[in-house]
Structure 1
Amino acid sequence: MNIRTLALAPALLVAMAFPALAERISLNEISRYLNSLTTVTSEFTQINPDGTVSTGTVYIQRPGRVRFEYNNDPTLVLASGGNVAIFDGKSNSGPQQYPLSQTPLSIILDANVNLGRQGMVTGHSEQNNATVVTAQDPQRPQNGNIQMVFTAPTELRQWVVTDDSGQKTTVILGEMAKGGSIPSSQFSIQTEMGRR
């Protein structure tokens, strides 16, 4: 064993002692992955801005549609037709509604996700063997941002939406069932209003 090999030995031992760090997934690959998602169903855990925790099932039909059903809670969140409606089970009035474009979740639901657009991504890093991407609508940065966490092979694991007032809502996804069909009525704000 020569001097050079002896000098390298501690570095080799350190390298062998730790598993290889996951490489940061490229923005092009993440855009491709999000665009490949059409219909997704997943259990989720939601950490609300006040620290309370909710669970339920989320149904996603890209582009533009999402349904959050909560366990043991009549609250329902729907997005379709360019609008978001929040049905509060404790209220007799109609749903609170606003344009989908005003929420950072619209980035995931967009017909053509392109994280390479100028001014869209404000953070892209590798943390704890996951790729973390923070994105905003470049035309409406005042509407907040979404921080998405992906593991390799590319899979969306969670997101944190920071709204225009700085409130953070975290959604942690369970095992995602991809494909299949969800009836359009599940995303209809009008149908849900009639049902209630």
Structure 2
Amino acid sequence: MNIRSLALAPVLTLAMAFPAMAERISLNEISRYLNSLTTVTSPFTQVNPDGTISTGTVYIQRPGRVRFEYNNDNTLVLASGGNVAIFDGKSNSGPQQYPLSQTPLSIILDANVNLGRPGMVTNHTEQNNATIVTAQDPQRPQNGNIQMVFSAPTELRQWIVTDDSGQKTTVILGEMQKGGSIPASRFSIQNALNR
């Protein structure tokens, strides 16, 4: 090893100690990625507004359908037919229901995700080798927002929904299984009502 190589050794060691900074993923690429997702199944960990933690499996069928099944809990959250229904296993009353358009999760489930629409993205940053995008419905900003975290190559890792009252719910995805088919009945609010 010559003198010049010895002089560069500490610099090379220092350079290798820090991973290369990931570039921020473009909004066009994120929109393309979300639109390419059709059917997804993934384990998830949810941090609730009160700090408690739930786990389960999420089933997504774009556009417009999602099912959250919770472990060790009879709670079920369904989105289908433009509506969301929350079945609380501890409640004797029927499910809480409201239009899907009133939740920021509708942004991910939209038939044509376009994060380039004016007023939709309120923040787009790179942090700790992840791209973070905060989006809202430009027509209904009062309904809250969704902060999505993507790793490179482009993969959705988690989201944080801030609802209209400022409550935050974090969903951290596990290993996603993409493709395949999920029976439409799994997303049926009517079927869940009759169970």
User: What's the TM-score bracket when you normalise by the shorter of the two chains?
Assistant: over 0.9
The CA distance in 2 between the partners of 1:61 and 1:24, in whole Å, is: 27
Please tell me the residue identity of whatever aligns with 2:153.
P
The CA distance in 2 between the partners of 1:153 and 1:147, in whole Å, is: 18
What is the aligned partner in structure 2 of residue 53 from structure 1?
53
Percent of pairs identical after alignment? 88
What do residues 148-178 of structure 1 show as CA deviations (whole Å, max 9, x unaligned)?
A: 0000000000000000000000000000000
What is the aligned partner in structure 1 of residue 44 from structure 2?
44
Quote the offset at 1:92 in angstroms.
2.0
The CA distance in 2 between the partners of 1:87 and 1:17, in whole Å, is: 49
Moved more, 130-139 or 87-96: 87-96
Q: Secondary structure at the match of 1:69?
A: strand
Equivalences for 1:154-193 in 2 at 5 Å? 154-193=154-193
What is the aligned partner in structure 2 of residue 3 from structure 1?
none
Quote the offset at 1:10 in angstroms.
8.5
What is the aligned partner in structure 2 of residue 112 from structure 1?
112
Count of matched residue positions in the alignment of Structure 1 and Structure 2: 189
What is the aligned partner in structure 2 of residue 86 from structure 1?
86
- Structure 2 unaligned regions, length at least 5: 1-6
What do residues 78-106 of structure 1 show as CA deviations (whole Å, max 9, x unaligned)?
A: 00000000001112221100000000000
The CA distance in 1 between the partners of 2:10 and 2:183, in whole Å, is: 60
Match status 1:131 vs 2:156: no
What is the aligned partner in structure 1 of residue 4 from structure 2?
none
Q: Secondary structure at the match of 1:73?
A: coil
The CA distance in 2 between the partners of 1:179 and 1:16, in whole Å, is: 37
The CA distance in 1 between the partners of 2:182 and 2:156, in whole Å, is: 20
TM-score, normalized by length of structure 1? 0.92
Quote the offset at 1:13 in angstroms.
6.5
Task: Give structure 1 regions of 4+ aligned residues with deviation exceeding 6 angstroms.
Answer: 8-13
